[in-house]
A and B are shown apart, each in its own frame.
Chain A
């Protein structure tokens, strides 16, 4: 009996033919089983055993060959389905604007420390934007902020500080808040856009509770959170609504404080303004026996530093060439 032909089968069809020729109704092995009845009992036993073994063997070989042939067939099919996967490198599009992204990071820091978020209108009045912030009409510091005015005497807010006033008038201390949003100054050149974004913070509690040292603590933590391993420097400065006031610098993130073009070779980058709330501001909202600190920052400035954007105006040009770098 030649079982080798099973191994030589070239296709599943051929294998099936062989199977039929061996084990089919008229197959060789089937026939021989049928012939068993002609044999003596003793012989019958012996031959039957041989035949069973042969059948087992044949079935096993066929099953094995079938597996091999199927496997081969599948492999061929898979091979025929080969594609050049390297043709399909992705081209993702879509990105959050760096101003939004930076704003979110800032809001995130303060809300996680349980500051509330307060908002207010962009069109403001003189009282909330200036007067209540210790900026009387004739104050020379008003020159610092060239203002957009409307015909009915209202104006576009020049900072987010009016939200502090609105919140203080609406709520009672203790207050702990930030106010993010768009602000406006009448200035349009290489380093100024007529609209930009600020985040301001305000903390108010009983007299004697909130100090400059507390302000230092929160801003140092914040700046290290935003910029990583930087040095933080406070310089005394002036804002009408805080006293004492300070400007806050970080060591230049580009040159690590060595001095470069971005930091005008000073090794420092100015990033924040802050101070202890001026008593005149509390007076304007009718608060007595309180203490507080406030701070404010420009979101564009942070975005430019964090994302290495050189041109302020490019952020307002809807330019995909800029945006696609933030995918």
Chain B
């Protein structure tokens, strides 16, 4: 909502009040000021009168004008097609500094020019007309030679009026707010227009009247419109565009008063109700407070309908019937100004056309709501006592009528333009905003305590711990939208949300569904950062993913790409590239111990992919990215892991007695078939359940041609120091078990 200071001054006397104070007041009372701009015409731009205007002797497209600027007559060359003798215009005199040029004496095609006749744009105003700007007396009686800023300078205040305050979507509405805010009454306005002998009944018939919910006030005018400069100028300042002359008047008066005004040509109108919506029919339809499809021809005879409809009602009708709407609905649904006479008179006063006498008044009287206010309840809501006298004073400033008053309570009538006030909390807000939140002291809350450390807090702490470990391991955290490209998910074999559960209105094609994996977005990031010359890209993310039934779960994922270390003198600037083992090590640094079994994943290298098993349950996957997928993303070797957060163990660890006897190390080098994975050997040995075997793990593998040599290291420890023969017995037992499966010592 844009207001200008001068326009506000039509309704309220602001003399002696700085605009800064107005802005402060508006903010304080809840009319948020979102922007402020000063319109200031450059100095040395004055009102001039074009006395003569002829063609330039040497140039067809130029005019040679004589312009009276008060103390002198200037010869000015002007290229505008619309310049003509008799016009009053803005003249930039020599020396004037305009936004884009400084005015100097000039010679054009051999003739001297002593200034410039300006277009609005050239003196820093919005560009709202063709040619030069032609002024009139609508912004004050023009005095030749006077500084143009005296008439045109203004200040623009842009307000973020909230959706509940339909009463504030007009200059008048804001003036009314300001009047309460600075405690100063509004001006009483006088409207003048010529009334004809002929009555409205002579030209307008109502053929049918089935209106149910709306109020209307109809008047008719006759004549040809002359749009004054003030209206053209202010419409430009509030950034409104109008279709034609009558539309300019209507838009201007609606912005000024907040009353819904609908113009039409003189006709026999039908007032109807269609599916609950009141409709005015005349060369098209006007759905009251919803949408205006009436076509108006500029034929000299017009009918104006000032109208009002209950905002809640019209919102419901539109919602239930899915109706199309325009700017009428914007105002009506928030609550337009119900004072129809005011809106009508303001418009007629500006139009300056003869008006047919009389009106057609189809109003339903709006009855003010009556609300009881318990003074103590107001105190409890605010947490501070404002005395009853101040409350009464504030409510009066806001046009609330005090119906009755006792020590404990008030009965008030709500002004009919305040559609938003319904209960005591609404009224408390009114009291609070005018009293000033700044004047309410803050107060700590007294509260009965209990333990509020719940599982959610524990979960957040657990996730944070995980994130901090990842950061300590060199990973950057990234965050993505939960949206993905459904085609892409399908292409890479991921689960997708069922079509009948998917988004109706995605923001973009590549964000048209909910993600089922965190990985593809991470791969996008790998590509992005590699392209930015990062040679070591370690990223992780945590967030929600969805299955085909659109069930939510939280996952954690990381990617490793490029170098395992940074470039430095030790590695001669050529660090090793990350390998499968690096990914596994990183994962174990984050989530602790786990086991790997061979696994499958739609974007994994088929022979470098493992399921991550913790306490016998699969909790995720770790793998090398399939080279084909890597190629699609234009990246090289990449490793990834994706883990179910909910399946991670958050239990406390249980300690065992420390075994203080000596540990013994033995290695076995075995000859194994190439298609046997270490997991087989691991299982054979584990199944022996040897109590003294505390740990064993592979330490070397190399190619023997058709077979592999695999060296496994064993850590033995007993409940006493193990003797050589005991150790040998254990190793024999292991070897025997392996030999039974065809695995022998090398």
Task: Considering the complex, give the chain A residue whose CB is closest to the CB of B542.
Answer: A100
Q: Is the CB of B550 within 8 A of A143?
A: no
- Considering only residues 74-125 of chain A, those with a C-beta below 8 Å from chain B are 87-88, 91-97, 99-100, 104, 107, 111, 114-119, 121-123
B557 contacts A by Cβ under 8 Å: no
Q: Is the CB of A203 within 8 A of B445?
A: yes
Determine the distance from Cα of A240 to Cα of B423 in the docked complex, in whole angstroms: 13
B356 contacts A by Cβ under 8 Å: no
Interface residue stretch chosen among B407-415, B451-459, B690-698, B725-733: B451-459
Which residue of A143, A144, A234, A247 contacts B32 across the interface (Cβ within 8 Å)? A247
Contacting residues, chain A, for B568 (C-beta < 8 A): 87-88, 91
Which residue of A212, A278, A291, A315 contacts B479 across the interface (Cβ within 8 Å)? A315
Q: A93-B538, A114-B452, A235-B28 are in contact. Are A323 and B476 (CB under 8 A)?
A: yes
Determine the distance from Cα of A140 to Cα of B290 in the docked complex, in whole angstroms: 13
Determine the distance from Cα of A205 to Cα of B438 in the docked complex, in whole angstroms: 25
Q: Is the CB of B566 within 8 A of A220?
A: no
Determine the distance from Cα of A152 to Cα of B226 in the docked complex, in whole angstroms: 55
Contacting residues, chain A, for B544 (C-beta < 8 A): 122, 182
Contacts A93-B566, A100-B477, A152-B500 known; list 15 others, CB within 8 Å: A92-B474, A93-B475, A100-B464, A116-B452, A139-B315, A148-B503, A149-B504, A195-B481, A209-B446, A211-B383, A212-B383, A233-B438, A236-B30, A236-B429, A243-B423
Determine the distance from Cα of A99 to Cα of B477 in the docked complex, in whole angstroms: 10
Interface residue stretch chosen among A45-53, A186-194, A304-312: A186-194
Q: Is the CB of B32 within 8 A of A235?
A: yes
Interface residue stretch chosen among B159-167, B298-306, B345-353, B709-717: B159-167
Q: Is the CB of A318 within 8 A of B443?
A: no
A276 shortest CB reach to chain B, Å: 6
Task: Considering the complex, give the chain A residue whose CB is closest to the CB of B500.
Answer: A151
Contacting residues, chain A, for B462 (C-beta < 8 A): none
Q: Is the CB of A244 within 8 A of B428?
A: yes
Contacting residues, chain A, for B456 (C-beta < 8 A): 116-119
A324 contacts B by Cβ under 8 Å: yes
Determine the distance from Cα of A194 to Cα of B316 in the docked complex, in whole angstroms: 28
Determine the distance from Cα of A315 to Cα of B480 in the docked complex, in whole angstroms: 9
Contacting residues, chain B, for A95 (C-beta < 8 A): 471, 476-477
Q: A96-B471, A318-B478 are in contact. Are A278 and B440 (CB under 8 A)?
A: no
Contacting residues, chain B, for A122 (C-beta < 8 A): 482, 544, 552
Q: A93-B538, A115-B452 are in contact. Are A194 and B483 (CB under 8 A)?
A: yes
Q: Is the CB of B476 within 8 A of A94?
A: yes
A313 shortest CB reach to chain B, Å: 11
Determine the distance from Cα of A179 to Cα of B500 in the docked complex, in whole angstroms: 30
Contacting residues, chain A, for B503 (C-beta < 8 A): 148-151
Which residue of B27, B501, B569 contacts A235 across the interface (Cβ within 8 Å)? B27
Which residue of A188, A212, A247, A321 contacts B432 across the interface (Cβ within 8 Å)? A212
Contacting residues, chain A, for B433 (C-beta < 8 A): 236, 244
Determine the distance from Cα of A174 to Cα of B508 in the docked complex, in whole angstroms: 43
- Considering only residues 220-257 of chain A, those with a C-beta below 8 Å from chain B are 220, 233-238, 240, 243-247
Q: Is the CB of B382 within 8 A of A212?
A: yes
A319 contacts B by Cβ under 8 Å: yes
- Considering only residues 181-213 of chain A, those with a C-beta below 8 Å from chain B are 182, 186-188, 193-195, 203, 205, 207-213
B423 shortest CB reach to chain A, Å: 6
Q: Is the CB of A94 within 8 A of B532?
A: no
Give A134-150 as 1s and 0s: 1 = Cβ < 8 Å from B's Cβ atoms: 00011111011000111
Give A269-308 as 1s and 0s: 1 = Cβ < 8 Å from B's Cβ atoms: 0000000101100000000000100000000000000000
Contacting residues, chain B, for A66 (C-beta < 8 A): none
- Considering only residues 164-184 of chain A, those with a C-beta below 8 Å from chain B are 174, 176-177, 180, 182
Contacting residues, chain B, for A141 (C-beta < 8 A): 163-164
Contacting residues, chain B, for A323 (C-beta < 8 A): 476-478
Determine the distance from Cα of A287 to Cα of B569 in the docked complex, in whole angstroms: 69
B238 contacts A by Cβ under 8 Å: no
Q: Is the CB of B476 within 8 A of A278?
A: no
- Considering only residues 478-537 of chain B, those with a C-beta below 8 Å from chain A are 478-483, 499-508, 511, 514, 521-522, 524-525, 528-529, 532, 534, 536-537
Interface size of B by CB at 8 A reads: 98
> Can you name 12 A-B residue pairings with CB atoms under 8 Å?
A87-B569, A93-B538, A111-B452, A151-B503, A214-B442, A217-B442, A235-B437, A237-B30, A240-B164, A244-B425, A266-B33, A291-B380
Determine the distance from Cα of A129 to Cα of B225 in the docked complex, in whole angstroms: 50
Q: Is the CB of A318 within 8 A of B500?
A: no
Q: A116-B452, A213-B442 are in contact. Are A186 and B437 (CB under 8 A)?
A: no
Determine the distance from Cα of A119 to Cα of B552 in the docked complex, in whole angstroms: 13
Contacting residues, chain A, for B432 (C-beta < 8 A): 212, 236, 244
Determine the distance from Cα of A263 to Cα of B341 in the docked complex, in whole angstroms: 42
The 3 A-B residue pairs whose C-beta atoms are closest, nearest first, are A211-B383, A213-B383, A236-B30
A199 shortest CB reach to chain B, Å: 12
- Considering only residues 359-385 of chain B, those with a C-beta below 8 Å from chain A are 380-384
- Considering only residues 205-261 of chain B, those with a C-beta below 8 Å from chain A are none
Determine the distance from Cα of A310 to Cα of B423 in the docked complex, in whole angstroms: 42
B447 contacts A by Cβ under 8 Å: yes
B616 contacts A by Cβ under 8 Å: no
Determine the distance from Cα of A106 to Cα of B315 in the docked complex, in whole angstroms: 38
Q: A148-B503, A237-B32 are in contact. Are A320 and B425 (CB under 8 A)?
A: no
Determine the distance from Cα of A205 to Cα of B447 in the docked complex, in whole angstroms: 8
Q: Is the CB of A246 within 8 A of B437?
A: yes
Contacting residues, chain A, for B537 (C-beta < 8 A): 320
Q: Is the CB of B477 within 8 A of A216?
A: no
Contacting residues, chain B, for A143 (C-beta < 8 A): 163
B566 shortest CB reach to chain A, Å: 5
B468 contacts A by Cβ under 8 Å: yes
A307 shortest CB reach to chain B, Å: 14
Determine the distance from Cα of A245 to Cα of B453 in the docked complex, in whole angstroms: 29
B473 contacts A by Cβ under 8 Å: yes
A41 contacts B by Cβ under 8 Å: no
Which residue of B445, B457, B502 contacts A210 across the interface (Cβ within 8 Å)? B445
Contacting residues, chain B, for A278 (C-beta < 8 A): 425
Q: Is the CB of A207 within 8 A of B481?
A: no
Give B262-284 as 1s and 0s: 1 = Cβ < 8 Å from A's Cβ atoms: 00000000000000000000000
A10 contacts B by Cβ under 8 Å: no
A3 contacts B by Cβ under 8 Å: no
Q: A87-B569, A115-B452 are in contact. Are A238 and B163 (CB under 8 A)?
A: yes
A297 shortest CB reach to chain B, Å: 17
A67 contacts B by Cβ under 8 Å: no
Q: A116-B457, A243-B425, A315-B479 are in contact. Are A150 and B319 (CB under 8 A)?
A: no
Q: A139-B315, A213-B383, A323-B476 are in contact. Are A186 and B443 (CB under 8 A)?
A: no
Q: Is the CB of B319 within 8 A of A137?
A: yes
Task: Considering the complex, give the chain B residue whose CB is closest to the CB of A246.
Answer: B437
Contacting residues, chain B, for A236 (C-beta < 8 A): 28-30, 429, 432-433, 437
Contacting residues, chain B, for A96 (C-beta < 8 A): 467-468, 471, 477
A33 contacts B by Cβ under 8 Å: no
A35 contacts B by Cβ under 8 Å: no
Determine the distance from Cα of A321 to Cα of B532 in the docked complex, in whole angstroms: 8
Task: Considering the complex, give the chain A residue whose CB is closest to the CB of B467.
Answer: A96
Q: Is the CB of B481 within 8 A of A213?
A: no
Determine the distance from Cα of A112 to Cα of B453 in the docked complex, in whole angstroms: 10
Q: Is the CB of B476 within 8 A of A216?
A: no
Q: Is the CB of B381 within 8 A of A212?
A: yes
Which residue of B311, B437, B447, B552 contacts A121 across the interface (Cβ within 8 Å)? B552
Contacting residues, chain B, for A243 (C-beta < 8 A): 423, 425-426, 428-429
Most chain B CB inside 10 Å of its own CB: which residue of A97, A316, A318:
A318
Q: Is the CB of A214 within 8 A of B443?
A: yes
Task: Considering the complex, give the chain A residue whose CB is closest to the CB of B440.
Answer: A213
Contacting residues, chain A, for B525 (C-beta < 8 A): 317-319
Which residue of A209, A234, A291 contacts B438 across the interface (Cβ within 8 Å)? A234
Q: Is the CB of B163 within 8 A of A208?
A: no
Contacting residues, chain A, for B471 (C-beta < 8 A): 94-96
B333 contacts A by Cβ under 8 Å: yes
